[in-house]
Amino acid sequence: MVKRQLLYKEWKQSELTFILVVLVAVLATPFLVLMEYSSFQKCLNNIWCVVDTPRFSYNFMKDAFLSLSWLMGILFAVIQFGFERNKGQMDFTLSLPFSRSTIYHTKFFLGAGIIAIVHVASYVLTYLLILGLNPLETPGFNSSYLFALVSSLMIYSLFFAAGTLTGSAISQAIVAFSTAILPFLVIGLPIVHLDFIMKTSGIWVDKNFFTYWIEPISPITYIIPGQFQYAYPIWFTGEGFIIPIVMMVLFYLIGLFSFIKHPNERNGRFFLHQTIDRPIQIMVILFGVLGFGWAGFTSDNSIFGYVVGMLIGGIVGALTSYLLIYRKR
């Protein structure tokens, strides 16, 4: 399933980037803890500085690396697919004596493996540092690391799958980001319009509905620091962990199917599969109509603004979808 020769080739192809990212990411949180500890010690020695407690503490829920570690998933996936297609290297990779499933699994194993190693290594170093510094509190240490790992792998799977569907790095990023907010577009926009048409005074757009039904199934939610993920314990009993794991597996399977079936002759196109060009264009136009229609209504609270907004949205959606999907890069 994973070939050593192919794994070596994939590593050497972006070796410097992988090494730099690993070094920075592994040392990021320990470095931030040390910096915070150093500042705390200086504050203790400064009579003008006021501290709440004479004991040092560090809140991992606000750690910059753990909040942004999902960027690794985006970077690795774009390097492995988008940049490789932009440079014309994908055709060479597919010409090697390996099956497409083997190539897919090897690429995924490399990217996901590096992400996992980074988080584990950072966790171990930070844990040893905590033992040495003996802080008073370390809220969110275990759960923050675990959620950062799960969300990073989920985002990596999302962009990885998008890379198997698209013909360039820009297309890959656009498709992945659109998928990340897709539940808001597919569920949220129609509900907003249903509320307007039926004049239900906001009953269909209740905040709790979005919080409990749409946000958990939206990948974009899991890359926003301090959203709702830290309310869940370290074990896998809440949707804060289960849902991103399910989405990760789903994106992985979508990417596998797409990569095995995709045609080579459409490299450079927005989508590699010609059959999905028209359905996606229709979806973009509909989202444009719904989005601009609602924006037009909220601007002046009139049916005229609603209709004008829908017309503008349809034109913008049609032009945008045509320029993105049907023009080769």
Q: Mind listing the pLDDT tens digit for each residue in 138-149?
A: 888 888 898 899
Residues 280 and 324: their CA atoms lie apart, in Å, by 11
Average pLDDT over residues 181-206: 73
- Out of 22-26, 50-54, 247-251, least confident range: 50-54
Question: In the numeric block, which tokens belong to residue 38?
Answer: 């150093």
Higher confidence at residue 45 or residue 15? 15
Beta bridge partners of 271: 166
Average pLDDT over residues 312-327: 84
Produce one character per residue of 200-216: b if its CB has 16 or more CB atoms within 10 Å, e if not. eeeebeeeeebeeebbb
The answer, yes or no, to whether residue 234 has pLDDT greater than 50, is no
Beta bridge partners of 57: 137
Report whether 16 contacts 53 (CB < 8 A): no
pLDDT band at 38 (very low <50, low <70, confident <90, very high): confident
The answer, yes or no, to whether residue 216 has pLDDT greater than 70, is yes
Report whether 203 contacts 192 (CB < 8 A): no
pLDDT band at 48 (very low <50, low <70, confident <90, very high): low
Would residue 172 be called left, alpha or beta, if left means φ above 0 and alpha means ψ between -120 and 50 degrees?
alpha
Question: In the numeric block, which tokens belong to residue 326?
Answer: 């049907």
Report whether 168 contacts 208 (CB < 8 A): no
Name the CA radius of gyration of the chain, rounded.
23
Residue 47, CB-side half-sphere exposure with 13 Å CA sphere: 0
Q: Does pTM top 0.85 for this prediction?
A: yes
The answer, yes or no, to whether residue 275 has pLDDT greater than 60, is yes
Beta bridge partners of 227: none
Question: In the numeric block, which tokens belong to residue 21?
Answer: 């990212």
The answer, yes or no, to whether residue 24 has pLDDT greater than 70, is yes
Residue 42's CB is within 10 A of a number of other CB atoms, namely 10
pLDDT band at 233 (very low <50, low <70, confident <90, very high): very low
Question: In the numeric block, which tokens belong to residue 81?
Answer: 């697919």
Q: What residues have CB less than 8 Å from 257, skipping those under 6 apart?
A: none
Contacts 24+ apart (CB under 8 A), 283-286: 284/317, 284/320, 284/321, 285/314, 285/317, 285/318, 285/321, 286/317
Number of H helices, E strands in the chain: 15, 0
What pLDDT, on a 0 to 100 scale, did the predictor assign at position 221? 85
Residue 79, CB-side half-sphere exposure with 13 Å CA sphere: 21
Question: In the numeric block, which tokens belong to residue 139?
Answer: 């809220």
- Out of 149-153, 208-212, 229-233, 318-322, least confident range: 229-233
Q: What residues have CB less than 8 Å from 176, skipping those under 6 apart?
A: 74, 77, 158, 159, 161, 162
**What does pLDDT average to over the chain?**
82
Report whether 299 contacts 307 (CB < 8 A): no
Residue 236's CB is within 10 A of a number of other CB atoms, namely 12
Q: Give the domain ranges of the chain.
A: 4-166+233-265, 182-217
3-state secondary structure of 298: helix
- Out of 123-127, 207-211, 306-310, least confident range: 207-211
Residues 292 and 3: their CA atoms lie apart, in Å, by 49
What pLDDT, on a 0 to 100 scale, did the predictor assign at position 317? 86
Residues 271 and 262: their CA atoms lie apart, in Å, by 10
155 φ, ψ (degrees, to nearest 5): -65, -40
